[in-house]
Amino acid sequence: MRGRFSRRDFAKLAGLSALGITAPARAEDSQTNPTADPHAPASFPSGFIWGTATSSYQIEGAVNEDGRGRSIWDTFSHTPGKIADHSNGDRANDHYHRYKDDVRLIKDLGVKAYRFSIAWPRVFPDGVGAPNPKGLDFYNRLVDELLANGIEPYATLYHWDLPQALQDRFGGWQSNNTSKSFADYSGYVAQHLSDRVRNFFTLNEAGRFLNFGYGWAIDAPGLKLPTAELNQARHNVVLGHGLAVQAIRARARQGTKVGLAENIAACVPAIDTPDNVAATEVATRELNAGILNVILEGKYTDGYLAYAGKDAPKFTADELKTIGSPIDFLGLNIYAPQFYIIASDQAPHWKVLPFPSSFPHMSSEWLRIGPETAYWVPRIAAKLWNNIDIYISENGTSSEDKIAADGNIYDLDRIMFLRNYLTQLQRAIAEGAPVRGYFLWSLMDNFEWIFGYGKRFGLYYVDFDTLKRTPKLSVSFYRNVIAKNAVGA
């Protein structure tokens, strides 16, 4: 996934060294700032991958078709009181039937990559056992349609729609039987799709579905586990990721790449001083110890185990090795700054600052506005984890989108948000952060989990009565960024 080093970049480097300016140590990094003109727009590297993203339960609908089994989100959304507008994903965007039209929308955006997720209960209705060929066929059709339109498919294997059968049988991720079943399912999908899909994400946002689903009873399956059991479930999830990586490597075509997409605990230095930046690096490692760090280092930090104490997960050395199976890229879902950090004289030498109540946010209250998150988080992640290739696997915002009298949707707040985050991302890349691509969340408004259809994250507006899709102004904004490979005029 490393970018190519062009002749033009070489000429630029040669020019700089003639001026006595030191060239970057690695030639690949130098392509990140292809122009020396300070007035030029802030360019992304050539070959940068622009994309958009969705997930299965949020858009597909067709929950009872072609042998699909039930998922925990079917059960949860049909439980009274769980979803703000009492809706569910039964029909959602009806993408299952309209995928060809939706691929056209993706193409019209000008993106060259699309991140979608595969519904495990379509492929294995009971989670394990006999596969359902008709379920996989939908993804065959989707992948073929994408490729026919020049769009590279990036498949996520788990975006929260666990087969209900595994919840009933094993308590879902409370058991490592689910971890093993996930590996079997992942290997099967990779075997059948990797002739056309070259990049797989195992899990989407493990931190979110564990805390919200197993810790706080907000998301499916709606559990409030005691800490020790929650920590064990987290261990089963990262183990599932590691086993899936191994299964994909064993059964996919050579050259298939695998990683995961995580809502990294996003730490940002409160003030940009070297001390605070160093403190933020340490905080990032510790606050991500239970998921990203154990995956990327193959061990739990001492701080994590000490903090968990008697509630620490039980694990073996072999399991840690599996969890730490090498991956090809790291997907970071970047929305809000979660922790502003300053250095401290006292152990552990970093401190989280409280948010003032006046801190601004987007239409979703949780979505605090911190464009510098897109600068610091990839930069720090690359430093901590061996300069691994990074994708921004999600970034975007909800807005109170309304259709104006002239029929347009002027989502200026979304454009403001994107412009600022992308500007900071470009800055990180120009300084050497190995970010290879960006997936804007989301292609279109969809079923936003517990918010139902009440929060709109799409580039395309969806009328949920008629299911008509209409481009918002942000479609033009994003198309322009992609066409210029830059933010700015």
Which residues form the catalytic set?
Answer: 205, 394
Name the minimum Å distance from CB 451 to ligand BG6. Answer: 5
Please provide residue 69's backbone torsions phi and psi, each rounded to the nearest 5 degrees. -85, 175
Complex with ligand BG6: residue 281 or 448, whichever CB lies closer? 448
Alpha helices in 60-115 (DSSP H): 72-77, 95-109
Q: Does 394 bind ligand BG6 (CB under 6 A)?
A: yes
Q: Which residue is nearest to ligand BG6 (CB)?
A: 448
- Residue list 184-223, contact with ligand BG6 (CB under 6 A): 204-205, 208
Tokens in use for 40? 């030029």
Closest among 427, 363, 428, 359 to 396, alpha carbons compared: 363
Name the minimum Å distance from CB 243 to ligand BG6. Answer: 22
Q: Does 54 bind ligand BG6 (CB under 6 A)?
A: no
Q: Could you give the angle at the alpha carbon of 198 between the alpha carbons of 197 and 204, nearest 5°?
A: 80
- Residue list 330-389, contact with ligand BG6 (CB under 6 A): 333, 364
Q: Does 55 bind ligand BG6 (CB under 6 A)?
A: yes
Containing 200, the helix (H) or strand (E) segment is strand 199-204
Size of the site for ligand BG6 (CB under 6 A): 14
Name the minimum Å distance from CB 203 to ligand BG6. Answer: 10
Asked if 398 and 363 count as a contact pair (C-beta separation under 8 A), the reply is yes
Complex with ligand BG6: residue 95 or 455, whichever CB lies closer? 455
DSSP label at 173?
A: G
Name the minimum Å distance from CB 214 to ligand BG6. Answer: 16
Asked if 409 and 458 count as a contact pair (C-beta separation under 8 A), the reply is no
Complex with ligand BG6: residue 70 or 455, whichever CB lies closer? 455
The sign one gets for the Cα dihedral 322, 324, 327, 332 is positive
Complex with ligand BG6: residue 55 or 474, whichever CB lies closer? 55
Name the minimum Å distance from CB 184 to ligand BG6. Answer: 24
- Residue list 255-274, contact with ligand BG6 (CB under 6 A): 263
Name the minimum Å distance from CB 226 to ligand BG6. Answer: 25
Complex with ligand BG6: residue 264 or 308, whichever CB lies closer? 264
Name the minimum Å distance from CB 208 to ligand BG6. Answer: 5
- Residue list 31-50, contact with ligand BG6 (CB under 6 A): none
| Nearest-angstrom CA–CA distance, 117 and 113 | 13
Q: Which residues pair with 329 in a beta bridge?
A: 259, 389
452: left (phi over 0), alpha (psi -120 to 50) or beta: left
Name the minimum Å distance from CB 325 to ligand BG6. Answer: 23
Asked if 342 and 353 count as a contact pair (C-beta separation under 8 A), the reply is yes
Asked if 458 and 443 count as a contact pair (C-beta separation under 8 A), the reply is yes
Q: Does 60 bind ligand BG6 (CB under 6 A)?
A: no
- Residue list 420-479, contact with ligand BG6 (CB under 6 A): 441, 448-449, 451, 455, 457
Tokens in use for 394? 């999600």
- Exposure string (b/e) for 21-48, b if CB count within 10 Å is 16 or more? eeeeeeebbbbbbbeeeeeeebbbbeeb
DSSP label at 212?
A: I
Longest dimension (CA), the chain: 70
Complex with ligand BG6: residue 410 or 451, whichever CB lies closer? 451
**Cα Rg of the chain, angstroms:** 22
- Residue list 227-246, contact with ligand BG6 (CB under 6 A): none
Q: Does 174 bind ligand BG6 (CB under 6 A)?
A: no
Q: Could you count the other beta carbons within 10 Å of the beta carbon of residue 440?
A: 28
Asked if 132 and 125 count as a contact pair (C-beta separation under 8 A), the reply is yes
Asked if 380 and 268 count as a contact pair (C-beta separation under 8 A), the reply is no
Complex with ligand BG6: residue 55 or 256, whichever CB lies closer? 55
Complex with ligand BG6: residue 199 or 204, whichever CB lies closer? 204
Residues lying near ligand BG6 in the complex (CB under 6 A) are found at 55, 204-205, 208, 263, 333, 364, 394, 441, 448-449, 451, 455, 457
